[in-house]
Amino acid sequence: MKRYIAKRLAWTVVATWITVTITFLLIDFSPISAGGATFVDQQVQSGMSVNEAKELYQHQLGYGDTVWERYANFMIGLVTLDWGWSTLYNQPVIDVITSSWIYSFQYVFPATVLSVVLGFGIGLYSATHQHTREDYAATLVAFTGISLPNFWFAIMLILLFSVQFDVLPSFYTTKHALLSLGNVKQLLLPIVVLGTSAIATEMRYARAESLEYVQAEFVKTARAKGLSEGEVTLRHIFRPAMVPLITILVGDVLGLLFAGGYVLEVIFQIPGLGLVSYQAIIQQDTPLVLATVLIPVLIAILGNLIQDVCYTVLDPRIDFGDRE
């Protein structure tokens, strides 16, 4: 197992290098950066000559005369945590990342916890109470949640709770402290939008996977031995169903973080990683785009590694020995 994890960690480095290299080449061959032009213009207005401003811009980005020099400078900076200078924010990229991640985390984390607890819980209950009113109601809610596009749902909630009833803010502001009632109120709509589709998706998967074990012979045997229904449900139905659900969980968490975050942070103007990445792409802020690509890649690869380790914990019959 240790050798397998070591090989997966080595593959993490290779996969990250490939992804970052492809992203670098795509951006390097794109037209001139609008953010770079703005930076040069600002330096000229402050008294610097055009050539000096261009040299300063290239120095801050780690640029060289050739693609290979620029690539080598970028990779060295990446390893040494010198991720370059953001022309959009006029500060080091690492500072932009460290100041923006908390805005994404503060609504992604509660939405993820709610989706896991409610999605798996309702799905399990629906499977053990198949063809009842509660099961039909849960199925209706699940299909509705899956069918609602996040951008449309977010706009409808803004029109209803911000415009019509005026009880919640329609966009995010940084004037409230992170641990304050005002901040909680302005995060409610993003959490609801982000959590709805995830709860519905995980509910459907949890129900489908749990149904495979509801009538299994070992479950009937457990009931015949006199185990309580709660113990049978958790130990003999939910635990084996968790193995495939872990795969869905990792995929959904990543989807919540990045796909959902991009849309919601633009709509609600939350200054998190999604909005930072969107603005960096629009302004062609190369170092910031590369940094915002690198973070989800690392999380995705490490998430898959954790997923493999969880398999052996949930089902000891799974052995990675033949893959070492």
Write the pLDDT tens digit of every residue in 42-90: 666 677 776 777 666 666 555 556 777 778 877 787 778 777 778 778 8
| CATH architecture label of 102-284 | Orthogonal Bundle (1.10)
Q: Which of 119-123, 239-243, 310-314 holds the top average pLDDT?
A: 119-123
- Chain centroid to Cα 227, Å, comes to 40
State percent of the chain over pLDDT 90.
10
Give the separation between CA 95 and CA 35, rounded to whole angstroms. 17
pLDDT, residue 282, reads 79
How large is the greatest C-alpha to C-alpha distance in the chain, in angstroms? 86
- What are the tens digits of pLDDT across the range 164-217? 998 999 889 888 888 888 899 999 999 999 888 888 888 888 888 888 888 888
- The tokens 């819980």 sit on which residue? 121
pLDDT, residue 1, reads 65
At 142, is the pLDDT very low, low, confident or very high (cuts 50, 70, 90)?
confident
CATH 1.10.3720.10 boundaries in the chain:
102-284
Residue closest to 291 by CA, chosen among 279, 302, 277: 277
- CA angle, corner 273, sides to 187 and 302, nearest 5? 110
At 159, is the pLDDT very low, low, confident or very high (cuts 50, 70, 90)?
very high
Which residues on adjacent β-strands are paired with residue 92?
85
pTM of the model: 0.75
pLDDT, residue 87, reads 75
pLDDT, residue 268, reads 92
Q: Which of 230-234, 242-246, 253-257, 273-277 has the lowest mean pLDDT?
A: 253-257
> % helix / strand / coil in the chain, to the nearest 5?
80, 0, 20
pLDDT, residue 61, reads 56
Residue closest to 282 by CA, chosen among 34, 103, 95: 34
Identity at 180, one-letter amino acid code: S
pLDDT, residue 154, reads 92
